[in-house]
Amino acid sequence: MNESILLRLIVMYATLSLASVGGAPSIVPDLHRQVVDVLGWMSDRQFAETFALAQLAPGPNMMVTSLIGWRVAGLAGLLVSTLAIILPSSTLAFVFGRLYHRFAEAEWFPTFKAGLPPVVLGLMAASGFVTATVAVHDVLGGLLAAGAAVFATLSRRNPLWAIAVAALASIVASRLGIV
């Protein structure tokens, strides 16, 4: 049983690794689709918590995949997930890195590169939206999500401030019995 879970993790993450143009945000909606909707490994609430914890720790935000691996299959799941999400894309980067100057100086490269962000940013917004739909359970949550979105849009401060303030606001609200 456990081995089939590990195999499933490897296949899922190795595929997503090659599709992760734009980094972790691009794959989060699909991660939720597979882990919660298709495989039923986690509830919506657990997924939202896992996502939030991964945001709080320092380091690459791809680690959300490591934490999901750990949640569903322990230490083996963590190791397998981390390697499966890194190796395919890094192998590709390794090869491209060796052909680096051909790309960096090619005439078509800037235009090619400019063609990626529209789709990538649409996926990023989708990632936030999907996570918000599973993380928001009440009016306060909705307000905090909207507030954090405005904060990130307008402010250049570290995004962790928004998470800290939201957590505090939520504690205060619950102590006052508002929520």
Partner 1 sequence: MKADSGHRDAAQTASPSPERDETPHKVSPADLFTGFLQIGLYGFGGLAAISRHIIVDQRKWLNNQDYAALFGICQALPGGNVINVATILGDRFGGLAGSVAAVSGLFAMPLVLLLLLAAGYDQISGLPDVKAAMAGAAPAAAGLVVGTAIKMMRALKLSYMATGFSLVAFICVAMFRFPLVPTLAFLLPLCVAATFRERRR
Instruction: Please report, as residue ranges, which positions from 64 to 103 form the binding site for partner 1 (by CB under 8 A).
Output: 64, 66-67, 70-71, 78, 82, 86, 88-90, 92-94, 96-98, 100, 103
Min CB(79)–partner 1 separation in Å: 9
Query: Of 7 and 121, which has the nearer Cβ to partner 1?
Result: 121
Contacts of 69-72 with C-beta under 8 Å, sequence gap 24+, read: 69/9, 69/13, 71/41, 71/42, 71/46, 72/5, 72/9, 72/35, 72/41, 72/42
Tell me whether residue 42 or residue 148 sits nearer to partner 1 (CB atom): 148
Cβ contacts of 27 within 8 Å, gap of 6 or more: 16, 19, 20, 65, 127
Distance CA(59)–CA(104), nearest Å, equals 27
Residues 31-70 that bind partner 1 (CB under 8 A): 33, 37, 48-64, 66-67, 70
Judged by CB under 8 A, the residue of 5, 6, 13, 17 near partner 1 is 17
> By the 8 A CB rule, do 17 and 88 touch?
yes
Give, as ranges, the residues between 113 and 172 that touch partner 1 (CB under 8 A). 113-132, 135-138, 140-142, 144-154, 158-160, 162-163, 165-171
The count of chain residues that interact with partner 1, using the rule CB under 8 A, is 112
